[in-house]
């Protein structure tokens, strides 16, 4: 079988499973978010500082993906919320089947927020729907402000861009305005937040964004729509 038909078959099967996951999340009232970035952009630190600000009664769980090791899961488990590591063994992304298997032993009735930390990669994860309500792309100021133009697919499909590690701005040649402009050249409606999980600057804005998505007003409540069928530029 040629590569293109095989890839279409794989993505079609992934979309089928993702649609079933999305329906389950919707039925249980779970907001699922898929965090994607390059390696080292600060996803795990952001999740650590997010969990540290949650009360112990929050109905939150985390899936974290890596090619090898359970280092991130062990870091996140310290906060007392359910955490499960997905080790891909070489795959550069999570897929819907991996998520489905990881959730098999969890009671979805006990959750209303599922945070998925994808494998560090701006390319492969963009193509795989995990049943999420939204993709979130994290871009650190230690990277290039032209990343949205180099890797447009993920910025096009993401609902939110988090510009992270802003505490490093005095020490790196990163143009925040250019990063915003470049991301909106790819996706004019993308939301943009700036924060530093290390200093805490901007964390309240991120938590407010989460709260608005978890408890939307009835008129603004989003329908459970797929995110992977949106064609990249």
Domain ranges of the chain: 3-220
Q: What are the start-end ranges of the E strands in 88-211?
A: 113-117, 134-140, 160-164, 191-194
Sign of CA dihedral 16, 21, 22, 28: positive
Q: Which residues contact 12 (CB under 8 A, 6 or more apart)?
A: none
Q: Output the pLDDT for position 217.
A: 77
Written as one string, the DSSP assignment of 20-34 is HHHHHHHHHT-EEEE
Are 82 and 106 in contact by the 8 Å Cβ rule? The answer is yes
170 dihedral zone (left: phi>0; alpha: psi -120 to 50; beta): alpha
Q: Name the phi and psi angles at 113, rounded to 5.
A: -145, 125
**Six-digit token string for 59:** 């109905």
Hey, how many other C-beta atoms are within 10 angstroms of the C-beta on 94? 26
DSSP per residue over 104-124, as a string? Answer: TTS-GGG-SEEEEE--S-SSG
**3-220 CATH:** 3.40.50.300
Inter-residue contact 53 to 33 (CB < 8 Å): no
Q: What is the pLDDT of residue 1?
A: 46
| Beta carbons within 8 Å of 126's beta carbon, 6+ residues apart | 36, 135, 151, 153, 154, 157, 232
- Evaluate whether 126 touches 37 at the Cβ level (below 8 Å): no
* Per-block mean pLDDT, blocks of 10 residues, the chain (233 long): 59 95 98 98 98 96 96 97 96 97 95 98 97 98 98 98 98 98 98 98 98 81 52 62
pLDDT at residue 222, rounded to an integer: 54
Query: What pLDDT does residue 149 have?
Result: 98
The whole-model pTM stands at: 0.90
Q: What angle do CA 149, 154, 156 make, to 5 degrees?
A: 70
């Amino acid at each position: 079988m040629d590569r293109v038909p095989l890839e279409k078959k794989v993505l079609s099967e992934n979309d089928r499973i993702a649609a079933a996951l999305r329906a389950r999340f919707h039925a249980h009232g779970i907001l699922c978010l898929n965090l994607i970035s390059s390696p080292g952009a600060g996803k795990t630190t952001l999740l650590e500082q997010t969990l540290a600000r949650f009360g112990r009664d929050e109905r939150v769980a985390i899936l974290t993906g890596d090619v090898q090791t359970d280092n991130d899961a062990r870091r996140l488990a310290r906060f007392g919320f359910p955490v499960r590591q997905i080790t891909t063994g070489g795959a550069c992304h999570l897929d819907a089947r991996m998520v489905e298997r990881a959730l098999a032993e969890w009671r979805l009735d006990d959750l209303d927020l599922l945070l998925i930390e994808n494998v560090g990669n701006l390319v492969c994860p963009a193509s795989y729907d995990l049943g999420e309500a939204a993709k979130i792309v994290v871009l650190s100021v230690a990277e290039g402000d032209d990343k949205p133009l180099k890797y447009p697919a993920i910025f096009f499909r993401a609902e939110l861009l988090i510009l992270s590690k802003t505490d490093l701005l005095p020490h790196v040649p990163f143009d925040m305005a250019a990063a915003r402009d470049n991301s909106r050249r790819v996706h004019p409606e993308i939301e943009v937040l700036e924060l530093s999980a290390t200093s805490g600057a901007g964390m309240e804005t991120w938590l407010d964004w989460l709260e608005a998505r978890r408890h939307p007003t009835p008129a603004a409540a989003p329908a459970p729509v797929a995110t992977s069928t949106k064609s990249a530029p």
